[in-house]
Amino acid sequence: MSTRTRIIGALSVIGVVVGVAVAVDRGFGPLPGSDGCQVEVDGHKVDLGLEQAENAALIAAIGVRRGLPARAVSIALATAYQESKIINIEHGDRDSIGLFQQRPSQGWGTRDEIMSPYYSTNAFYDALEKIEGYEEMRITEAAQRVQRSGFPEAYEDHAADARALASALTGNSQGGQFSCKVDAKVAKASAELDENGLTARAADVLVDLEGAFGDQSVGGFSPEGVSSGHMEGSAHYEGRAVDVFFRPINEQQRKQGWAMAYYLVAQADRLDIATVIYDDMIWTARRADDGWRDFDPGDVSGKSDETVAILEHRDHVHVDVHE
């Protein structure tokens, strides 16, 4: 993960709303009672624990960053399901460790390297991309070519779940198919702003996003703080919000935006995220059991198409953190 700090001028966005926005239920239904995440694609549901979701979303984000097809992410997720249940474990058969149970003795890297989900995921994709025609192979066949497991058919047991997760987390399934339920009761943190004009929590989100997806076009904050361009009560004024822009608006950008929006929801518990808004939809930690809901941008009558797109968050992902 990149640890550098970026000083970014404010890119003022008209009417960006924080977690106080009015929204109505989208209709995807409540999530299970306990904290966790769920994806539903074409009627196939997958439930994950929060740690599983965090790792699955990272595996997908790295695939998106590398420009890989969703099929590659499906193969990686099916492999991680079989090898570790998508948990970054420190043990395994012989010297196998990590998400993919890679072995230092087999040249996958040092123990410390493999225990980094960023390193191990990239190592898996490096090996996968060397397999000619992997996109046309059965998921279990491609996974086996990378892993060389003693149980070559075992990966296929997780193929359907992996495909559903990959479809959502790469942004191919859009409109709220992936959501998480988290504890919205978070202890207050320091409101002090850093040199970029962000609270520590918001700064952590920005660093985390760029670690997963690479450099982004971001705004909604500035070294001196922002005092205009957003609705009353906006988290931007407190340095608790970041906007990530996906312009111009087109299908490819929309897919990238949904991949990031889902990633943020998957990391909400770990990063103390309160609100994610994108593509005229909203997810909030305090109503996480409702999943994604329609976003209400207020009265848009008489406004230009460009302004309406901004108000509806169709050209940017908004994320804000708890106080």
Distance, in Å, from the CA atom of 56 to the CA atom of 20, rounded to the nearest integer, reads 29
Burial class (CB in 10 A: 0-12, 13-18, 19+), 49: middle
For residue 142, how far is the Cα from the chain centroid? 25
pLDDT of residue 28: 40
- Domain-wise residue ranges, the chain: 23-28+182-321, 46-174
pLDDT of residue 234: 92
pLDDT tens digits, 156-212? 999 999 999 999 999 999 999 999 999 999 999 999 999 999 999 999 999 999 999
pLDDT tens digits, 227-254? 888 888 899 999 999 999 999 999 999 9
pLDDT of residue 3: 35
pLDDT of residue 162: 98
pLDDT of residue 33: 56
Q: What token pair was written down for 201?
A: 């929590």
pLDDT of residue 27: 33
pLDDT less than 50: residues of the chain? 1-30
pLDDT of residue 70: 97
The neighbour count for residue 7, using CB atoms within 10 Å, is 10
